[in-house]
Amino acid sequence: DTEVTQTPKHLVMGMTNKKSLKCEQHMGHRAMYWYKQKAKKPPELMFVYSYEKLSINESVPSRFSPECPNSSLLNLHLHALQPEDSALYLCASSRALRGNTEAFFGQGTRLTVV
Amino acid sequence: AQTVTQSQPEMSVQEAETVTLSCTYDTSENNYYLFWYKQPPSRQMILVIRQEAYKQQNATENRFSVNFQKAAKSFSLKISDSQLGDTAMYFCAFIIRGSTLGRLYFGRGTQLTVWP
């Protein structure tokens, strides 16, 4: 199983809503990532988890709240988002940070904030 | 600073032809991995090919091969016998080996269109 599974695939939410994005992998990877991607741009790193601990927060606004309940799961909790937060949110995993092998990406969640 | 430059925002090629996508990068580190990722309209980022910087030999994966010039910090991707399914955005990226940050540095991408 070399898949990273993200749910939902599409999400439309109002600015006052609270929602969560989910990411799951069963490859035994110990590093997991959230990226934000705008149209025709490269992914921008948001958060990195290593062994279930937050390793990097790229100065992301607090309306985005990551959570890593266990080594297979990564969540991104969303609250009070702005229309400019509309984007594709990609989850990725890799074996470990120090291993520095390739990252495997999920299909993303297309988020629209109205 | 770590940077990746893809100087071709868009390219097109006819089916069955060969196309080369350019990538240059900058880092003061000596040990790193380089990647080409493909992102079709389905949105998933798919690893196309990987090169370890300490290896002289250019990586190949079926129709995909790279020309890695470490001194020039150049890492181009050649796609032979182009297929319609190769239509996608292609991102060049690298990661520092041994870094605890796990950060991938991406270029801005090249949109490749394969015409029948």
Residue range B25-51, pLDDT digits in tens: 999 988 899 999 999 988 889 999 999
What pLDDT is stored for residue A56 in this prediction?
86
Distance from CA of B87 to the nearest CA of A (A): 14
Q: Are A11 and A19 in contact (CB under 8 A)?
A: yes
What pLDDT is stored for residue B101 in this prediction?
66
Chain B CB contacts of A31 below 8 Å: 102
Chain A CB contacts of B49 below 8 Å: none
Q: Which residues of A touch B (CB under 8 A)?
A: 31, 33, 40-43, 45, 48, 50, 55-56, 88, 90, 92, 94, 97-98, 100-108, 110
Between A and B, how many residue pairs show a Cβ–Cβ distance under 8 A? 65
Average of per-residue pLDDT across B60-68 = 96
Give how far the C-alpha of residue B26 lies from the chain's centroid of Cα atoms, to the nearest Å.
14
Give just the sign of the alpha carbon dihedral B56, B60, A25, B108. positive
Q: What size, in residues, is chain A?
A: 114
Identify the helix (H) or strand (E) that includes residue B47: strand B46-52
Q: Are A109 and B43 in contact (CB under 8 A)?
A: no
What pLDDT is stored for residue A60 in this prediction?
94
What pLDDT is stored for residue A88 in this prediction?
97
For chain A, 114 residues long, give each residue's pLDDT as a single digit of tens. 569 999 999 999 999 999 999 999 999 998 999 999 999 899 999 999 989 999 889 889 999 999 999 989 999 999 999 999 999 999 999 886 665 678 899 999 999 999
